[in-house]
């Protein structure tokens, strides 16, 4: 089993899926390099950045096949393997020391501006931490939570910090405010890929997502105590920023190019004060561009597993799920082997009910490749009967940053063949007298 990000990158490199860039590059050149690597479907490690000591890694989730390699399955089975491991959590264990604390910086030694964080989009307000995984504890129960929050660099020991009103972290912050105390957090940069996926799961609030990560890894996550805050962090991360968010302290933050490919305007957001930085001797800085394949695969994979669990629980014969049809996870395609007429409509309702961000969903037959947009459009053009197969759910709750508002309509499409007419819709295959 892969122990950390470094072993994961070694696996990708052995497969020919990682490119190293050793020639000197400027910080401002990194976004275009990342975009080119995304088109190639390869992870990139940029090792020589002018003016900075540390390397940058991007696109670690550049293709679904990367996760299939970790799980030891096909790309179609990633959702099933993820769901099965999710259902068998393993609690973390404490260790006395770990590589993430090979270097410890406190006080005036702390300067996050020395790390090669980048400006991602043309109108972004500045450099952002986008690949950070945040760990916090519920001030009342002590349950740990993992989350992703954008952080605009505002000084050597200070960043902006965006919390969504519906995040568990925001509820932790409100509890801390009620106690008139700061909320301590730790931000991990360069985490085990399965830890990142666990952070994107969104389980019930009494579930420790590090337990989920242990299940995904099939071994307990090793944790070390932070040096300046009462938190525990994975021992094999690259970098940890320790600090707190103070009650009622807000500043302007943004604009920022979000994953829906719109700019989020300037808004009042929290401030993260950094007390300490612990790290490996030669850490890698993971960056993720919002809306990239990297980002959408990270956010979408756990939701595919979530949909699979729900549909399986309703005895739907699910063959594949793809929430990465577009450059976000708000539109999806599901292939099923239909067992009863109109089953697709029930599956659509179950999908919308279990994942509120899902806005548009197409259900196709088992012979359609949901990972090929052209095949999905083929099913729409040949098998959809719009007068029967199109379902609109008005006034439902959707994604909070949808430009049309959180209360929006959902579109469901049944593009499956009538069960009694399957012979009429059989797909042609290439003639091969020597094979099947």
Residues annotated as catalytic are 258
Intra-chain end-to-end CA distance of the chain, in Å: 37
Query: Quick one: DSSP state of residue 143?
Result: -
Residues 6+ apart with CB under 8 A from 289: 31, 34, 35, 58, 120, 121, 130, 295
Residues 6+ apart with CB under 8 A from 325: 331, 332, 333, 370, 373, 376
55-58/43-46 β-pairing: antiparallel
Q: Assign 416 to helix, strand or coil.
A: coil
DSSP β-bridge partners for residue 45: 20, 57
Which pair of tokens denotes residue 127? Answer: 């450099």
Cα distances (Å, whole numbers) of residue 31 to 26, 106, 160, 333: 10, 30, 21, 30
Report how far Cα 81 is from the mean position of its chain's Cα atoms. Answer: 17
């Amino acid at each position: 089993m892969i122990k950390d990000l470094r072993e994961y990158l070694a696996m990708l490199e052995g497969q020919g899926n990682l490119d190293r860039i050793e020639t000197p590059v400027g910080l401002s050149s990194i976004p275009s390099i990342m975009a080119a690597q995304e088109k190639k479907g390869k992870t990139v490690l940029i090792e020589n950045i002018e003016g900075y000591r540390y390397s940058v890694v991007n696109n670690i989730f550049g293709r679904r096949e990367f996760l299939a390699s970790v799980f030891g399955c096909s790309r179609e089975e990633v959702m099933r393997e993820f769901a099965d491991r999710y259902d068998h959590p393993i609690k973390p264990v404490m260790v006395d020391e770990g590589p993430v604390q090979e270097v410890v910086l406190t006080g005036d030694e702390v300067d996050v501006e020395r790390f090669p964080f980048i400006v991602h989009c043309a109108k972004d307000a500045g450099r952002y931490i986008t690949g950070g995984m945040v760990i916090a504890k519920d001030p009342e129960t002590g349950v740990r939570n993992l989350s992703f929050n954008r952080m605009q660099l505002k000084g050597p020991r200070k960043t902006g910090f965006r919390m969504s009103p519906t995040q568990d972290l925001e509820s932790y912050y409100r509890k801390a405010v009620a106690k008139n105390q700061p909320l301590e957090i730790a931000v991990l940069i360069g985490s085990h890929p399965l830890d990142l996926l666990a952070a994107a799961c969104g389980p019930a609030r009494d579930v420790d997502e590090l337990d989920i990560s242990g299940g995904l890894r099939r071994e307990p996550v090793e944790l070390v105590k932070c040096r300046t805050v009462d938190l525990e962090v994975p021992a094999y991360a690259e970098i940890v920023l320790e600090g707190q968010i103070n009650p009622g302290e807000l500043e302007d933050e943004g604009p920022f190019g979000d994953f829906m490919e719109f700019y989020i305007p300037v808004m009042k957001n929290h401030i993260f004060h950094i007390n300490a930085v612990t790290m490996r001797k030669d850490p890698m800085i993971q960056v993720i561009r919002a809306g990239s394949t990297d980002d959408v695969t990270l956010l979408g994979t756990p939701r595919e597993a979530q949909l699979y669990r729900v549909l399986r629980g309703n005895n739907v014969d699910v063959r594949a799920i793809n929430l990465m049809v577009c450059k976000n996870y708000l539109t999806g395609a599901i292939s099923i082997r239909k067992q009863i007429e109109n089953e697709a409509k029930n599956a659509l309702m179950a999908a919308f009910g279990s994942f509120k961000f899902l806005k548009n969903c197409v259900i196709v037959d088992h012979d359609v490749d949901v990972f090929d947009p052209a095949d999905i459009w083929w099913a729409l053009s040949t098998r959809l009967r719009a007068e029967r197969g199109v379902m609109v759910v008005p006034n439902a709750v959707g994604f909070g940053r949808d430009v049309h508002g959180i209360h929006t309509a959902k579109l469901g499409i049944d593009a499956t063949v009538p069960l009694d007419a399957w012979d009429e819709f059989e797909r042609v295959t290439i003639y091969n007298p020597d094979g099947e």
